[in-house]
Amino acid sequence: MTERELLGLPAAGGVAVGRALVLRDIQADANGSGGEAEQGRALEALARVGAELGETADRVRAEGRTDEADILESNRLMAEDPALLREVRELADQVSAVAAVVQATERHAVLLEDIPDPMLAARAADVRRLGARAARLLTGAPALSTPLRPTIVIARDLGPADTAELDLAAGRVCGIALAGGGATSHAAIMARALGLPMVVGLGEEILGAAEGEPVVLDGDVGAAVLEPSEERLDSSLRAVHERRRTRRELASTRTLPAITRDGKKIRLLCNASTAVEVEAGLAAGAEGVGLLRTELAFLEASDWPSEAEHLAALGPALEPLAGRTATVRTLDFGADKTPPFLAGVAERGLALSLAHPEGFEAQLRAIVAAGAKTQLRVLLPLVESPEQLCEARALLPEGVELGAMIETPEAAGRASEIASEADFLSIGTNDLVQYTLDLDRERPVATVESAADPEVLGHIASVVDAAHARGLTVEICGEAAGVPVLAALLVGLGVDELSIAPAHVDAIRMTVRSLYAQMAAAVAQSALTAGSARQALELGREALLDELGDQGREVVDGLGGVVA
């Protein structure tokens, strides 16, 4: 047969070669009869799904992957949502249990999709997967079994629990190809955490793959190839092995400093939320933590956490950072990180904390106490004005460094004012991309290109200029900092620190060491006036390849990723 290349969107970087395992949709009989027995079956199925999600969350948390565990816990809460259970019970009085759970979850998913907030709208896929998992239980359809050979899982969509369970498959699941889905979904976040290449939005044709047929998946460019030629298979397998070799070589540079060829020092820090992540970042050569998330431990809280609860959560993560930089971000509740006690509250980030001073003060006291042996920096999320900074500073002891996260175009426009009251600035590129480009459900995917959009780069440049005019340090703590070609542009724009996931520290160190800062600056200036994000990326990529040669191509093309 002739090979067929299907184009979608990249969700998790990497190349994978394996055999197709197609997860088929469960067909619900809408004409089936309902009744008390069907109501019981439907509710029991959802209860089992919730229990499975909880068990998987416990396993993932025990492995130190707190972010992923919190995602699973939020999905467990969805399965226990009283409104959803009430609707399932009412439907199951008229139709079969399978039809009831599928129809009820679909209705809730449609409601989420209609919410203007893109982060909430993206959770619609999670709700649909709850229904699909419950339907699978009700019909007795087999769950994913451990494959006996390298496998590409193909499905219409997956939830975070489905993706987490692929990690149980003894390393034989090597990639995920979805007909639908999005790069901002929880499933995509899980895939990136697990290191599984993933492509979404491939369309219905991918579901027609024959069981067991060879598949080549390219998570860097967003493509899946069915029935690949021998030549394609050979080249893809070489790419997989080359990537592994490159990672080993990059790890051998961990004792070297991140200094450009012409002597500019860039501090490499890591993003973390647990002690395991902190230790992984330090082991990879990070100089400290540039973003310690604090809200993920409290997504199920019934009230504002107490000082003792904050101390218990912070202590283990800050202990390895004695004598090192520890940048602790205060609670960034809101949007898709909203605990039950804040349901329906519109405020987010610092504005929300300032509206609840007792809870805010309790966290600040805990941060100062837990970080006493570190080079502590307190970071405030979604800062909008210098007045907010002044209000927060009044609650801190003298001498504690206070930083502002710039995450919106409006804040970037007021960067000089905000810098006048801050000790350092941090740019959160994930939110900055979303708000600058007005991403919504009509354009749900933010790729590497999005962070290279000249308008986004312009905001970053203006923040750097405002900070440097006052002698302040600027860090980047969004996912863009972990992509080599974007890191090159950020260095060119004058950023002082890059805070990245532990897994990306090696590649970004090599990127920095391979650059001439002056050349990067010239390239970045050209990127600011480029006609598109793609052109800006090409400028950065060409500059990197000029300096890195063939080995650089492995880094730039082989270790790319997505910006959520």
Enclosing domain of residue 39: 26-143
Count how many domains the chain has. Answer: 3
Please give the average per-residue pLDDT across 430-458, as a whole number.
76
Identify the domain boundary among 124, 143, 162: 143
Does the residue 563 lie in any domain?
no
Q: What is the pLDDT of residue 559?
A: 38
> Are residue 432 and residue 370 in the same domain, yes or no?
yes
Average confidence score pLDDT of the chain: 84
CA-to-CA distance for 338 and 382, rounded, in angstroms? 15
Backbone angles phi, psi at 128, to 5 degrees: -60, -40
* Sign of the four-CA dihedral 124, 185, 117, 81: positive
Does the residue 405 lie in any domain?
yes
> Are residue 318 and residue 219 in the same domain, yes or no?
no
Q: What is the pLDDT of residue 142?
A: 55
Higher pLDDT, 19 or 336: 19
> Are residue 440 and residue 524 in the same domain, yes or no?
yes
Q: If you average pLDDT over each of 159-163, 430-434, 490-494, 554-558, which comes out highest?
A: 490-494
> Are residue 413 and residue 295 in the same domain, yes or no?
yes
Percent over 70 (pLDDT), the chain: 85
Please give the average per-residue pLDDT across 489-497, as a whole number.
97
Q: If you average pLDDT over each of 429-433, 443-447, 557-561, which comes out highest?
A: 429-433
> Are residue 220 and residue 290 in the same domain, yes or no?
no
Please give the average per-residue pLDDT across 497-515, as a whole number.
90
Q: If you average pLDDT over each of 173-177, 305-309, 428-432, which comes out highest?
A: 305-309
Among 559, 433, 564, smallest CA distance to 504 is for 559
Does the residue 68 lie in any domain?
yes
Q: What is the pLDDT of residue 297?
A: 78
The answer, yes or no, to whether residue 439 has pLDDT greater than 70, is no
Among 166, 219, 221, smallest CA distance to 190 is for 166
Token code pair at residue 297? 């431990």
Query: What is the β-pairing status of strands 401-406 and 375-380?
Result: parallel
Residue with tokens 């129809």: 103
- Is the overall model pTM greater than 0.75, yes or no? no
> Are residue 217 and residue 279 in the same domain, yes or no?
no
Count of other CB atoms within 10 angstroms of residue 208: 11
Q: If you average pLDDT over each of 31-35, 112-116, 123-127, 288-292, which comes out highest?
A: 288-292
Residue 2's pLDDT band (cuts 50, 70, 90): confident
Q: What is the pLDDT of residue 144?
A: 56
Identify the domain boundary among 143, 166, 193: 143
Residue 298's pLDDT band (cuts 50, 70, 90): confident
> Are residue 343 and residue 464 in the same domain, yes or no?
yes
pLDDT tens by residue, 180-233: 887 767 677 777 767 788 999 999 999 999 988 999 999 888 899 998 998 888
Minimum mean pLDDT range among 68-72, 272-276, 350-354, 503-507: 68-72
pLDDT tens by residue, 18-70: 999 888 776 655 556 778 888 888 899 888 888 888 888 887 777 666 666 77
Residue 296's pLDDT band (cuts 50, 70, 90): confident
> Are residue 547 and residue 467 in the same domain, yes or no?
yes
Does the residue 340 lie in any domain?
yes
Q: What is the pLDDT of residue 315?
A: 93
- How far is the first Cα of the chain from the last one, in angstroms, to the nearest whole number? 37
Among 10, 13, 131, smallest CA distance to 483 is for 13
> Are residue 156 and residue 270 in the same domain, yes or no?
no
pLDDT tens by residue, 363-419: 999 999 999 999 999 999 999 999 999 999 999 999 999 999 999 999 999 999 999
Q: What is the pLDDT of residue 443?
A: 42
Strand arrangement, sheet containing 4-7: 4-7, 223-226, 214-218, 15-22, 151-155, 173-178, 198-200, 9-12
Minimum mean pLDDT range among 44-58, 343-357, 415-429: 44-58
> Are residue 293 and residue 313 in the same domain, yes or no?
yes
SS3 414: coil
> Are residue 135 and residue 190 in the same domain, yes or no?
no
Token code pair at residue 45? 């199925």
Among 146, 152, 167, smallest CA distance to 198 is for 152
Among 195, 120, 130, smallest CA distance to 157 is for 130
Q: What is the pLDDT of residue 425?
A: 98
Residue 128 belongs to domain with CATH number: 1.10.274.10
Backbone angles phi, psi at 217, to 5 degrees: -120, 130
Residue 204 belongs to domain with CATH number: 3.50.30.10
> Are residue 124 and residue 213 in the same domain, yes or no?
no
The answer, yes or no, to whether residue 116 has pLDDT greater than 70, is no
Residue 347 belongs to domain with CATH number: 3.20.20.60
Does the residue 17 lie in any domain?
yes
Identify the domain boundary among 109, 143, 177: 143
Residue with tokens 């793959």: 209
Residues labelled catalytic: 186, 477
Q: What is the pLDDT of residue 550?
A: 44
Among 335, 268, 265, 270, smallest CA distance to 299 is for 335
